[in-house]
Structures are given as structure tokens and as C-alpha cells.
Amino acid sequence: MGIINGADFAPTSTYLNTASCGLLPGRAVAAIHALAAENGAGSRGGSGSFEVVDAARRSFARLVAVDHGRVACGGSVAVHTGLIAASLRPGAEVLFPEGDFSSIINPFVVRGDLKVRYAPLEGLADAVGPATDLVVWSAVQSADGRIADDAAVRAAAAAHGARTFNDATQAAGWLPFDAGLYDYTVTGAFKWLLCPRGTSFLTVREDAQESLVPLHGGWLAAADIWNSTYGPLTELAPDARRFDEPPAFLAYHGAAESLAYLEETGIDAVCTHDTALAARYRAGLVELGHEPVPGTSPIVSVPGLADREPELSRAGIITSARAGLLRASFHLYNTEADVDRLLEVLSG
């Protein structure tokens, strides 16, 4: 495993906003520039490489501990979620935590013929019942960084015969995560996985793949894509590649480099680094008389401070205001000096 090296990044601010968008490592930036230059020059390779897309798929699969045959590549969490939502029978019951991210809720709600229920995150497992068909939740909450009791929810779902759909967007990249424990997972890769926007991944357990129809697969859903560019396909891809969206090649050329970088660094090392910075910040907030939302994740949100976000921005400290909270998020390019600078400005 590698050593975390902030020199691989080039922020021009005190950047504490990975929960909104992660920074690209230099090698990802270089890969995007190279492909864009080829595209501008009209060279044969300028359109992008499916081999690079597959390298990103395989790298992501290793990071979340599943076989690459369970991984579909796409461009957004909402599109992947829409595929799952479309698979449900009319009247199916879908259970969500209250206040979870809208991209994993809206595709189910707008169907209009599903029964949707909500429960507090802490009581999600208890809310699963015999009528529940699917439980949908985020491993880490976007607004405030709370970590779900995934094991309890999985156990409750298994006891009642419900499928599980976990959004790992705010977890994968810093938290060791096993996507093989769920029927479906979705991950927006432009946050903790340091990929460009336009990269996301869906995982589908083998025994759940027949439950989904590759509605947007096009020619990429075929077993033999190059002989399936015209007319109807004759055979679907035998694995989750049948659910691929057409890739945004510039994004995926960068993603392949970012994911390889994280593999070399090691998620355990990133977790230790990120959570230590967050713990330092939480302790400093308490000393200043503020009460952050309790937790251990690198996302730290504080009630009553959302109005300080513009002031912090003017001071060159990039955070977010979310759900009435001031949200700071710490990743591998941050240091203790970043934490201390944030606390210094907040101290007034």
C-alpha cells in the first residue's frame, strides 16, 4: 500500500468539500487532457477506449470486494436507481430512511404506483416488515455523515425476504465497503473515489441480475458489442455489463487513474487518515462551544453554523451548507493544518 501524499493534488484553497465533489489526482487530470488533445487532433484514439472503461470497472470492483462481472458502469446515481425502480411490480413496498439523498428516492416515488415508507435512520432495521419488497438507504448520510447500521438492516431484510439497495456514494473511497453483501449498490464516483463527474457504478448480485431489464443498454448490452451495432441484439452480455450506460470517455479515462491511485494508497490508510482529521475537528468544535452531529465519519456537520459558509469561502475555506448544517468533509489531500485553519476562522 502506498503512503498518502498531498503532493499528488493541487488545491488552491483549503478544500474541505469532498462530500460534494472530490479533487482529481494529477494523473487523472493528465489522462483527461491527453484524451481531449487526441479528440481535438482527430487521432484514431481520440474517441476513447472501452479497455480503459473496463480497467475502471475492474479497479472499482476490487475496491468494493466484488467480481467485476457484478459491476455496471454509468454516469449518475439517479439513472442506476431508475433501473432498479423500473424492475418493481406495481404496489411493491419500498422503505427509505427519512431525509436520505433524493437521487435514490425520487425514481421510486415518481412511478406513482409503489408504496413508499420512511423511517428514522436509527430505526430503519426495525421498520422492515413482511410486506417490504426493497430497502433503500445510504451507507453514510450525505447531509450529516451519520453511518447506517448496515448489518442490522441487511439482517432485517433477510428475515423478511426483502431485497437491499445500498448507496455507497458517501462511503466508498474512505470506508472499507463490501458491495457483495447487498442485492444492489450504487456509487457516484466523483466524491470520495476522486473520479470526474459522469462516472458511477452499479453492482448487482448474480442472483438478482435477471430481476432487471437493461432498458438503456443499447448495443453495449450485447454479448458481442462490435457485431451488435445495428439491428436488435441476439444475446445479452452474460453479466452486469448488460446494464452499462454508454460511457463518457473523458470521465472514465480520468476515473481509471483515480481508482488505481486509491488502490495503491489503500482504503484502510485513507480511512485512518480521514477519520483522524474529522475527530480533531469535532474535538475543536466542542472546545469552541459547538455541538457537531455525533459520529465518526469524515463528514462533520454542525447545527447553527450554516450561515458561516460564505464567510469561510471568502477566507479560502471551501465547505458546504446542507440541511441547515455547516458541513466539512476531510479526505486524503487534507492535513491537520487545514482543520486548524477552519477552527481558527470559526472561532472568530
Rounded mean pLDDT of 204-219?
A: 92
Residue 61 sits at φ, ψ, to 5 deg, of -55, -45
Every domain of the chain and the residues it spans: 6-25+265-346, 32-264
Q: What percent of the chain has pLDDT over 70?
A: 98
Is the Cα torsion angle 116, 121, 123, 126 positive or negative in sign?
positive
Rounded mean pLDDT of 301-328?
A: 97
**pLDDT value at position 2?**
46
The 10s digit of each residue's pLDDT in 220-275 is 999 999 999 999 988 999 999 999 999 999 999 999 999 999 999 999 999 999 99
Task: State the chain's mean pLDDT as an integer.
Answer: 96
Name the pLDDT band for 216 (thresholds 50, 70, 90).
confident
**pLDDT value at position 1?**
40
Domains 6-25+265-346 and 32-264 share a fold: no
pLDDT at 204 over 90: yes
Rounded mean pLDDT of 161-170?
A: 98
CATH tag for 6-25+265-346 (out of 3.60.21.10, 1.10.260.40, 3.90.1150.10, 3.40.190.290): 3.90.1150.10
Rounded mean pLDDT of 188-204?
A: 98
Number of Cβ atoms within 10 Å of the Cβ of 40: 9
**pLDDT value at position 44?**
80
Taking the C-alpha atoms of residue 289 and residue 310, their distance in angstroms, rounded to an integer, is 21
Q: Are 83 and 202 in contact (CB under 8 A)?
A: yes
pLDDT at 129 over 90: yes
The 10s digit of each residue's pLDDT in 278-299 is 999 999 999 999 999 999 999 9
Rounded mean pLDDT of 86-113?
A: 97
User: For domain 32-264, which architecture applies?
Assistant: 3-Layer(aba) Sandwich (3.40)
* Cell numbers linked to 17: 468539500
Q: What percent of the chain has pLDDT over 90?
A: 95
**pLDDT value at position 157?**
98
Rounded mean pLDDT of 198-216?
A: 94
**pLDDT value at position 217?**
81
**pLDDT value at position 4?**
64
Rounded mean pLDDT of 99-125?
A: 98
pLDDT at 21 over 70: yes
